[in-house]
Structure 1
Amino acid sequence: MSTTDYLTTDQLSRALTLRDLTDPAHGEHAMQALLDAVVTALQSRWRSTVRHVRSSPIVPVRENYDRLGYGPDDVTRDHRYTRYISSTVMLRSHTSADVTTALEDYAGRRDVDELLVVPGLAYRRDAVDRHHVGEPHQVDLWRVRSTPDTDDGELLAMIGCLVDAVLPGTEWTATDAVHPYTVGGRQIDVIHDGECLELAECGRIHPEVLRGSGLDPEQWSGLALGMGLERALMLRKGIPDIRYLRAEDPRIVSQMLTLEPWRHVSSLPASRRDLSVVLDAEEDEETLGDRIRTALGDDADVIESVEVLSRTAHGDLPEAARSRLGTQEGQVNLLLRIVLRPLDRTLTSDQANAMRNTIYRAVHEGPVLELI
């Protein structure tokens, strides 16, 4: 990995100054109310103690990957998906990165049945649409027990309790899933408005994760669950666009203080721009989305969606198109549709064109520029 793959000072500063909606110290938000409801439900069921862990999002790569059982060649480690600060330090890609160190504190203790609550921001490369952001909020909920007999029955009970706290009365299913830090992993899907949607993933804590934190798996066990809080809150309130969670329009802000159902706010008109760009064939919607957000900076919330309309490899392009675009082997031609729709202001045509050009310059790697 070269130094060009590391975050710049400006990128790191922007990430660290982003408001954490799970943190009461940053102001009140409905996300906190939802999390409180989940924690209360689980604590009441288990009659356990509760421990909240809130740490810096800057973590050693070892904590984010190695200690959780990720292999050295796991694709998630690739710089295209991970925000590295250096070869050994990164912005966490999940709040699970804070768990293994927290588990070390239980060594030597007895009679433990505790719910670890680890909320905060995670930092990823992700697609641009109404349901995804590059800095999602996540919570890890781990039940830690000084007994080796936590079983699948306890896991299923935890799933039922969680779903009922987030979406009371909702039908759910749990299917097998593989995570390096669990055994008996499950993906939790809920049936919402006729759709099957992923809510969380969970499993029993892997013995090697316990052992790596100084806890003997012959004496300790527990449950590990991770949930994306944007998805959970949007489902609970019926919010149609993830950008509303951070919007500054007073009509929206007032609705982000409670778990009451979402009330429609009139949308401003959209501006649509189509782009034909040339870029490396390895780029995908997640890395593309990250490049666009980075380029726009504070204006990134203006983007409603980025859709890939077509993807054509260099070898599949007509000769005339190759000549016009200047593509090379290993590159592709993408036709992108960018929808710009601010939540709280109207864009002029000139402003929309300027943003279109900023996006174009950020993603286009061909020799021929087509600016407007």
Structure 2
Amino acid sequence: MYLTPAALAAALAVRDLSDPATTPAGEQPHAMSRLLDALVDAATAGGAHPHRVVRSSPLVATADNYDALGFNAVAITRDRRYSHYVSPTVMLRSHTSAGIPALLRAIDGDADRDEVLVLPGIVHRRDAIDRTHVGTPHQVDVWRVSAPGRLAVDELLELVGALVDAVLPGARWRAVPAEHPYTVEGRQIDVWHAGEWLELAECGLIDPGLLARSGLDPARWSGLALGMGLDRALMLRKGIDDIRVLRSTDARIRSQMTDLSPWRPVSMMPPVTRDLSVVVAAEDDDETLGDRVRSALDARVDDLESVAVIARTAADELPPAARDRLGIVDGQVNALVRIVLRPLDRTLTDAEANALRDRVYLALHRGPRLELIGAR
């Protein structure tokens, strides 16, 4: 039910690309940190607003990740299928907003203040495997906290405009009403890119309830809250369509990950597709299955371009012969899973592809009978 020491150590060892302090000797900082610099500059009006960039441990109190921010006690995001718990009271943060409650509690409620708080870093989620999702994405929270002045929607949209322009200079954007546990007047921010609207950020005015729970009088204090996925933002800025590119060790790719200039695609290897018929629990979704595959493949997970469930059939909908062949029982489903194997830097042999296929199969399958092909 909780992360093993080995799994926790592996999670904490993932490099934070937004932090220039993690840059290997002899290399330049990653483009992610350069984009973050641009966002900080935009959020603070070129340094005109006092600000702090706060980097904290991804290990947080579960109460700060959820309760203090106002998440409902039965919110699905709390489920162990989606979050990584270390103990009953500690978890790997699922969003950088988890650092906000402690910062608010540390503020002197009687002081005058107008400060921008920037919280970047890696968050940890169980997620699907495809070209735009990863289990350790980067996020940044940008909050402006003020007293005794009152911040309102006009200031919120001004902040949004500045940040959108820092990511995609001159891009069209829209603010769509949305609900978040720790904001009022919430908005989802979409940008027009490559002929479609794409979500870039979420924002709103700081919920007075959050301020009150943090010891700040909502009659005196107000603020703005915005969260953005840095991986998505960088991919939009550079025109990248595969999230694995951001961490690639291929020299042709790595040389392009040091600035914000447009991405020049390198030669992609041909894909290898394998379809698997596996038995899984009825409640297993793409995120749960994706996390299971990541854990099983470990260092080889980047050889996978995607893992997708093509079809699901409940045990009681299968003919008797199929039920017997699979060994499936009530409460389980037969899932047809398609995996696409395509390393960024080489072509897999059939033997390598079959071996990886079998590792994925073993990670997903919960039936008593195995259909492995690696030894054939």
TM above 0.5, yes or no, is yes
- Give the deviation of 1:111 after TM superposition: 3.2
Q: Distance in 2 between matches of 1:108 and 1:177?
A: 29
2:20 maps to 1:16: no
Q: Deviations over 1:193-250 (max 9, x none)?
A: 1111110000000112111222111111100000000000000000121000000011
Partner of 1:224: 225
Q: Distance in 2 between matches of 1:206 and 1:46?
A: 26
Q: Distance in 1 between matches of 2:31 and 2:46?
A: 23
What SS is found at the alignment partner of 1:353?
helix
Equivalent runs, 1:106-121 vs 2, <5 Å: 106-108=107-109, 110-121=111-122
Look up the equivalent residue of 2:296 and give its one-letter code. Answer: A
Look up the equivalent residue of 2:200 and give its one-letter code. Answer: L
Partner of 2:129: 128
Larger mean Cα displacement after TM superposition, 39-48 or 27-36: 39-48
Question: In 2, are the aligned partners of 1:148 and 1:217 still within 8 Å (CA)?
Answer: no
Q: Distance in 1 between matches of 2:318 and 2:177?
A: 41
Partner of 1:261: 262
What SS is found at the alignment partner of 1:275?
strand
Q: Deviations over 1:2-30 (max 9, x none)?
A: xxx11111111110001000111111110
Partner of 1:296: 297
Question: In 1, are the aligned partners of 2:43 and 2:142 still within 8 Å (CA)?
Answer: no
Question: In 2, are the aligned partners of 1:118 and 1:139 still within 8 Å (CA)?
Answer: yes
Question: In 1, are the aligned partners of 2:165 and 2:171 still within 8 Å (CA)?
Answer: yes
Equivalent runs, 1:308-327 vs 2, <5 Å: 308-327=309-328
Q: Per the alignment, do residues 113 and 191 of structure 1 end up closer, same or farther by CA in structure 2, a change over 3 Å counting?
A: same
Larger mean Cα displacement after TM superposition, 344-353 or 216-225: 344-353
2:3 maps to 1:7: yes
- Give the deviation of 1:147 after TM superposition: 2.6
Q: Deviations over 1:97-141 (max 9, x none)?
A: 011111223214533111100000000011100000001000000
Q: Distance in 1 between matches of 2:309 and 2:196?
A: 23
Q: Distance in 1 between matches of 2:368 and 2:180?
A: 43
Q: Distance in 2 between matches of 1:345 and 1:109?
A: 61
Equivalent runs, 1:160-239 vs 2, <5 Å: 160-239=161-240
Q: Distance in 2 between matches of 1:260 and 1:136?
A: 21
Q: Distance in 1 between matches of 2:39 and 2:229?
A: 13
Percent identical = 60
Partner of 2:69: 68
Larger mean Cα displacement after TM superposition, 161-170 or 233-242: 161-170
What SS is found at the alignment partner of 1:255?
coil
Q: Distance in 2 between matches of 1:38 and 1:299?
A: 33
Segments of 5+ residues of structure 1 without an aligned counterpart are: none
Q: Of Structure 1 and Structure 2, which has the larger fraction of its residues in helix? A: 1
User: Size of the alignment, in residue pairs?
Assistant: 368
Look up the equivalent residue of 1:336 and give its one-letter code. Answer: V
Segments of 5+ residues of structure 2 without an aligned counterpart are: 24-28
Look up the equivalent residue of 2:350 and give its one-letter code. Answer: S
Q: Distance in 2 between matches of 1:63 and 1:111?
A: 25
Equivalent runs, 1:307-346 vs 2, <5 Å: 307-346=308-347
- Give the deviation of 1:340 after TM superposition: 0.8
Q: Deviations over 1:131-185 (max 9, x none)?
A: 0000100000001111352111111111111111111111111111111111111
Look up the equivalent residue of 1:7 and give its one-letter code. Answer: L
Larger mean Cα displacement after TM superposition, 221-230 or 157-166: 157-166
Look up the equivalent residue of 2:138 and give its one-letter code. Answer: H
2:160 maps to 1:159: yes
Partner of 1:248: 249
Question: In 1, are the aligned partners of 2:109 and 2:215 still within 8 Å (CA)?
Answer: no
Larger mean Cα displacement after TM superposition, 39-48 or 207-216: 39-48
Question: In 2, are the aligned partners of 1:248 and 1:344 still within 8 Å (CA)?
Answer: no
Q: Distance in 1 between matches of 2:277 and 2:170?
A: 46
Partner of 1:284: 285
Partner of 1:359: 360
Q: Distance in 1 between matches of 2:163 and 2:148?
A: 22
Q: Distance in 2 between matches of 1:62 and 1:108?
A: 22
Partner of 1:347: 348
- For normalisation by structure 2, the TM-score amounts to 0.96
Question: C-alpha root-mean-square deviation of aligned residues, in Å?
Answer: 1.2
What SS is found at the alignment partner of 1:347?
coil
Q: Per the alignment, do residues 6 and 183 of structure 1 end up closer, same or farther by CA in structure 2, a change over 3 Å counting?
A: same
Question: In 2, are the aligned partners of 1:268 and 1:345 still within 8 Å (CA)?
Answer: yes
What SS is found at the alignment partner of 1:44?
coil
Question: In 1, are the aligned partners of 2:41 and 2:47 still within 8 Å (CA)?
Answer: no
Q: Distance in 2 between matches of 1:151 and 1:203?
A: 9
What SS is found at the alignment partner of 1:196?
strand
Question: In 2, are the aligned partners of 1:178 and 1:186 still within 8 Å (CA)?
Answer: yes
- For normalisation by structure 1, the TM-score amounts to 0.97
Partner of 2:26: none
